[in-house]
Amino acid sequence: MKMVKSLILGSAAGLIAMSGAQAADLPVKAKAVEYVRICSLYGAGFFYIPGTDTCIKLGGYLRVDTTFNGGVYGQPFYSGDAGQGNRFRDQFNSRSRMALTVDTRTATEYGVVRTFGQGDFQFQNFGSTNPALPVGAQTTGLNSGLLSTAGGGYVAVEFVFIQFAGFTFGKSASAFAAPWHGYPGNNNSFLMGGHDTVTGVNNIQYTAQFGNGVSATIGLDDPTVFHRTSVQNLALGVNVNGNGTNAYGGIVAPDIVGNIRVDQAWGLFQLSAGAHLVNASYNTLGAGGVPTNLSEISGHPDSKWGFSVQGALQIKNIPTGAGDDIKISAVYSQGNTKDVISTSGGSPSFAMFGDSGLGYNSVGFGNTTDGVYLPGAGGTNGIILTKAWGVRGAFNHNWDPYWSTSLWGAYAAVRYDGNNTDAVNGVFSSAKGAYCLGFAATHPGQVAVAGAAGTYSCNPDFNIAQVGMVTRWTPVKNLTFSAEVGAFFLDQKMSGSSVFTATAPKPTALYEFKDQSTVFLNVRAQRNF
């Protein structure tokens, strides 16, 4: 009996010991791992990159645009097949884009070090099916539209820059630009009358903060893409669309730009200025501006510095409603026309055709340049800078948290020195005289005063005007549907008519010089994230 009792007690003690051992071996609940650590230093959306003290924010948007009677992003039909209105043009154009942004910031003893980049994944229409032209009517270089094939698309690079101790290095907005660039209230990317580097330009700049919302920025911009239109050697003539041949030389100096800005609760005021070097290649060039073996010994005109000045004003919280504002800017330039005839891409020249009661069609031309020159004795004695000025703005109104409307408009003028009768009187030393000499070679019938059919008075000056309205509906946060209607007007200064051979498929016929206009409708869906 004692033996049985000992076995039972021993077994019980063993079980208790085993249970204690097993309980001691159970894992203790570990502290939760914080895979995403919020960074509240720089606003909503930032988090720490694991294992570092650098904060990062990922964002962007997805946007789908379709424009009827216009190009992608609301480009008016003002040139090429679209300006002619022929059967090769795409009568509506669409673009689908997903923009991705990466914003990193690190606190250092020198202040915040920031990097920012944006890439746009895009697919779009060609714009024209004309087999005589490369896709998009671009004659040289890689055209992004060529990549929009079935299953294709392309990536566009916008801002890519580093900021450190007040300096900015990389592809960013020019210091000359207004804070809203070319978008005071519009959706379309073609509101002219001012500067636009909304997609960035390579630069180096420094910003100083003086307190109370007052700052100043000075910068050096690469002029290759966003600060040049054309310098035209008029010895090479003027083509049937009213354009001379571009004879810009290589880059010699950066554009020098700067601004002074006041940004406070009532709104914003900014005064900007820029200097731009206008330099030509040679006096003697082949067709299309291609150099020949005589080019280098032919000499070249002296380079000239052009300039531009701009004022921008925003007035916030106006009495019409909460969040309503007015944005307006005005600019004047000499030899820096890109700051007036500007888009988010290149600066256009204009060739628009319409109905006529006099000839086969009417036509209006607008030739955009930084300067022109006619080499040789009796010529312009160097580059004559083109003058331009413009104004644009918008009134933005919120009906309620879901609906808003913007009314926008712009006006711009381009002027060439001289008199519109200079060429007729044998005076080719002015910009007008030299231009009209070349224009007469492709457009017969120039007279001092337009009279019978087939005669005209030459004047390359022109104005443009734009007006439009956009209404937006935001049913849920960061999802917006919008519709925009806009009109574009070309006020050209030629008068009379000429028999000439227009660009195919137009025939050789009598064309009346006349003001032109066009309208477009754009619809957009955009989701920000």
Per-residue model confidence as pLDDT tens digits over 294-349:
999 999 999 999 999 999 999 999 999 999 999 999 999 999 999 999 998 889 99
Query: Would you state the pLDDT for residue 451?
Result: 63
CA contacts within 13 A on the Cβ side of 149 = 4
Query: Would you state the pLDDT for residue 30?
Result: 55
Q: Does residue 15 register a pLDDT over 60?
A: no
Domain tally for the chain?
Answer: 1
In a domain? residue 250: yes
Question: What is the rounded end-to-end Cα distance, in angstroms, of the chain?
Answer: 81
Distance CA 94, CA 151 (A): 15
Confidence band (pLDDT; 50, 70, 90) for 36? confident
In a domain? residue 476: yes
Question: Hunting for tokens 């960035």 — which residue is that?
Answer: 200
Question: Hunting for tokens 């083109």 — which residue is that?
Answer: 386
Task: Tell me the three state secondary structure of residue 44.
Answer: coil
Encode pLDDT of 146-182 as tens digits: 666 666 788 899 999 999 999 999 999 999 999 999 9
Distance CA 357, CA 510 (A): 11
Q: Which of 445, 465, 466 is nearest to 456 (CA)?
A: 445
DSSP letter for 72, please: G
Calculate mean pLDDT across residues 268-274: 98
Which pair of structure tokens corresponds to residue 376?
Answer: 């040789």
Which pair of structure tokens corresponds to residue 347?
Answer: 């600066």
Calculate mean pLDDT across residues 91-120: 96
In a domain? residue 15: no
Question: Hunting for tokens 């531009």 — which residue is that?
Answer: 308
Q: Which of 134, 163, 130 is nearest to 147 (CA)?
A: 134
Confidence band (pLDDT; 50, 70, 90) for 33? low
Is the bond preceding residue 505 a cis peptide, omega within 30 degrees?
yes
- Greater confidence, 1 or 254? 254
In a domain? residue 176: no
Which pair of structure tokens corresponds to residue 242?
Answer: 């009213």
- Which strands, in side-by-side order, build the sheet including 508-513? 350-354, 361-366, 508-513, 495-501, 456-457
Which CA distances in Å does 495 have to 84, 243, 315, 366, 436? 19, 17, 42, 13, 13
Give me the domain span that covers residue 405: 184-528
In a domain? residue 73: no
Question: What are the backbone dihedrals phi and psi of residue 239, each rounded to the nearest 5 degrees, phi first?
Answer: -80, 180
Confidence band (pLDDT; 50, 70, 90) for 5? very low
Distance CA 58, CA 101 (A): 6
Q: Does residue 136 register a pLDDT over 60?
A: no
Query: In sequence order, which residues have a C-beta less than 8 Å from that of residue 253 and are 6 or more positions away?
Result: 277
Distance CA 244, CA 131 (A): 24
Write down the pTM of the prediction: 0.89
Distance CA 220, CA 273 (A): 12
Query: Would you state the pLDDT for residue 225?
Result: 81
In a domain? residue 149: no
Confidence band (pLDDT; 50, 70, 90) for 478? very high
In a domain? residue 351: yes
DSSP letter for 189, please: S
Mean per-residue pLDDT over the chain, rounded = 90
In a domain? residue 124: no
Query: Would you state the pLDDT for residue 27?
Result: 52
Q: Which of 316, 332, 313, 345 is nearest to 387 (CA)?
A: 332
Q: Does residue 32 register a pLDDT over 60?
A: no
Q: What is the CA radius of gyration of the chain?
A: 31
Query: Would you state the pLDDT for residue 130?
Result: 72
Calculate mean pLDDT across residues 51-63: 96
Query: Would you state the pLDDT for residue 395?
Result: 98
Distance CA 245, CA 239 (A): 8
